[in-house]
Amino acid sequence: MRIRTQIIPVNPHHPEEEAIAFAALVIRSGKLVAFPTETVYGLGANAFDSEAVLRIFKAKGRPSADPLIVHLASKDDLRLVTKGAPEIAWKLAEKFWPGPLTLVLPKSGQIPLEITAGLNTVAVRVPAHPVALALLKKCQLPIAAPSANRFGHTSPTTAQHVYDDLAGEIDLILDGGATIIGVESTVLDITKHPPRILRPGGVTLEQLTAILGEVGYTPTPALNDQLGAFRSPGQLEKHYAPRAKLIFFTNPDVEKAVESMISMARQAKDRHQQVGIMLMEEDRPFFEELAAVLFSLGEGKDPAVAAARLYDGMRALDQARVDLILVRDFGGQGIGLAIRDRLKRAASQIVT
């Protein structure tokens, strides 16, 4: 049975008390609320309620082997959801929370196995968004919240994106406008030595190495050998994908990458296919004469803007009914590593 999904606008900087109180009541009653974080919109349920957590998986069509992130109101709540958080966890929390860093830690007995895909670890963070923090504080309990979209689809950065994917499946959407960072949090497994990035995101590898020294990262799924469950969200090889076929050009020589994109766009036109191109502004002159739909990711010198626009670009080009989306690599420094990770997982084809 489909649910009537309600949307309540909220001030993203000073969320209205009445709206937050209502959303907290919905969460505490075992239902689902989508809300903005600084990264993407999350789909929240009471993290201590197994039945509510299972509703997340059902609403998204998410496999049970893919664990959820638990959101906290403050670092002090680590004691509620983890078992013996090490000193490094508190150090990282002090530096990066609230913020887009998720830590993988030993879980406490209060956290249902449904959240962790049966693993004895849990992924936790404190979000840096006034609406998310207000909701967590009002609920007075941790909230389990993956991205608020159909599983495997492009992540949502606006309330409309959430509604497009999950209308009729969830109870409430708090509309706090567009998110700021636009890609998900960095997931760092600190049960390993050295700590290992399982998913690059809003906190960069460079920021973490400045604090920790050695930090591991390999862009391959981290599976638990015994259970076959992922140690972190965002580990699937195919993920974040638009409807259109996304082709990712990874040649580090920008000129050659652009030449390949132009060649493929012309071939697609000959096949009567509609092409969309996500580009940096400095590349625009190369593509303006093509019969293609262009979506700007901003200036190349500011990859944070590209990250913020990435998912919106995929969804906008889908709405334009393009058959192909072409995009080149923008480098692996800073948040560029997260952009590269999302594009690789969203791609139907990678051109080197």
Q: Which of 76, 248, 246 is nearest to 152 (CA)?
A: 246
The number of angstroms, rounded, from the C-alpha of 105 to the middle of its chain's C-alpha atoms is 20
Is the confidence at residue 35, as pLDDT, over 70?
A: yes
Q: Which of 245, 220, 181, 197 is nearest to 92 (CA)?
A: 197
DSSP-derived letter for residue 265 is H
Please name the amino acid found at residue 119: L
Task: Decide: 295 and 279 in contact? Cβ < 8 Å.
Answer: yes
Class of the CATH-defined domain 245-351: alpha beta
Residues above pLDDT 90, as percent of the chain: 91
pLDDT, tens digit (0-9, with 9 covering 90-100), for 270-304: 999 999 999 999 999 999 999 999 999 999 888 99
- 324: which 2 tokens? 């192909």
Residue 225: pLDDT band (50, 70, 90) is very low
At residue 185's C-alpha, the angle toward residues 217 and 219, to 5°, is 25
pTM over 0.85: yes
Mean of all residue pLDDT scores within the chain: 94
Residue 228: pLDDT band (50, 70, 90) is low
Concatenating the DSSP letter of every residue in 161-198 gives: HHHHHHTTT-SEEEE--S-SS-SPPEEEETTSSS-EEE
Range(s) of the chain covered by CATH 3.40.50.11030 = 245-351
Separation between Cα atoms, residue 223 and residue 243, nearest integer Å: 27
Q: Is the dihedral angle over the CA atoms 184, 190, 191, 193 positive or is it negative? A: positive
Topology of the domain covering 6-217: DHBP synthase (3.90.870)
